[in-house]
Amino acid sequence: MRTDIHSPSKLVAKDYGFVGILYSKKGNRQGRTRDSYGKLVDLHIARVQEHQERTLGKFVNHKGECTAKKSVDCCHVCGTHIRYKAVFYHARTNEYLVVGFDCASKLLHGNTALFAKIKEQVKKYNTKDKTVETIYECGLGEAYEMANAPVDPDEAPQLRKKKQIIADILGRFVTYGKISDKQIKFVESLLGQVKNWDRYEAAQKAEKEKSADAPEDRVEVQVTVLKVKDTDWGTKVFAKHESGWTCWGTLPREIETAFKGDVIQFTARFKQADNDSKHAFFSRPTKALTLKEAEVTEVN
């Protein structure tokens, strides 16, 4: 316990000017430390730095030792270990004190609302950091870093789209703290495609070249549902024929619901896409029925 002018028994609150509140950053198990804890915390860090550069004052620790550094983990008044630190300036001695909550409460006459705001903001970012740490523990660290890397304006649109899907899934995980095993496997699959994009794209191109052209006019088809999407214009399906061509259109009325993997049959008017003969849009589907339902895996 110190005995100089800054000792607990000799503190005169009116002699100290409040400068800002700091937070001791801590790294996670991967050794990474957050660069920012939000605008409010950054504002106080900048305010303390600017104030010290202007006064050239020294920080005096609880042992009475002067230092130019403010990165300490104990209160300069009582010596207690602290993480949230309030910085006060003593003009007469041109010295700074870094104090914890209890000592700051005395100097601020109990007005510690700002402390509460800082704690709330830091807690929010620490919760996010724990979720990010879980992402690395799940083996998705590489996917997370790739999703947060700067966007290359010259990369292929389909490649960028896959990266965006990864970013969306992991972003929701960070926000809500939940991710399913199915989503983890999907991210791993997308990451594999992204990392081997040239090979993946070549394989996709080769498969498409082998595909037959999509039909034209009104015909009866049997296709496998790949995607079902509800829109303002009804339920749409994306499906694939066994010969490789794909199609997009409205789910026939005779089929109430469809799932990925269902094999359906219907008659409709088909029109090939303007720039892709392997894909068609269909309209006015009729005489529809489900030939085979997708297998559903039970979840206990």
pLDDT value at position 204? 79
Asked whether the CA dihedral 119, 122, 127, 133 is positive or negative, the reply is negative
- Beta strand extents in the chain (DSSP E only): 16-23, 58-60, 66-67, 84-90, 95-99, 217-231, 234-241, 246-250, 263-273, 276-292
Q: Which of 269, 150, 181, 180 is nearest to 220 (CA)?
A: 269
Pull the structure tokens for residue 91: 């003009």
Q: How far are the Cα atoms of 115, 116, 123, 175, 231 from residue 127, in angstroms, in the given order?
A: 18, 16, 6, 9, 35
Pull the structure tokens for residue 169: 């899934």
Sheet (strand 66-67) strand order? 16-23, 84-90, 95-99, 58-60, 66-67
Query: What domains can you pick out in the chain, each with its CATH number?
Result: 13-122 (no CATH), 138-206 (no CATH), 211-292 (2.40.50.140)
Average pLDDT by consecutive 10-residue portion of the chain (300 residues)?
73 82 58 52 80 86 58 72 82 86 72 68 63 79 85 84 91 83 90 88 82 92 93 90 93 88 94 92 93 65
Asked whether the CA dihedral 172, 163, 226, 233 is positive or negative, the reply is positive
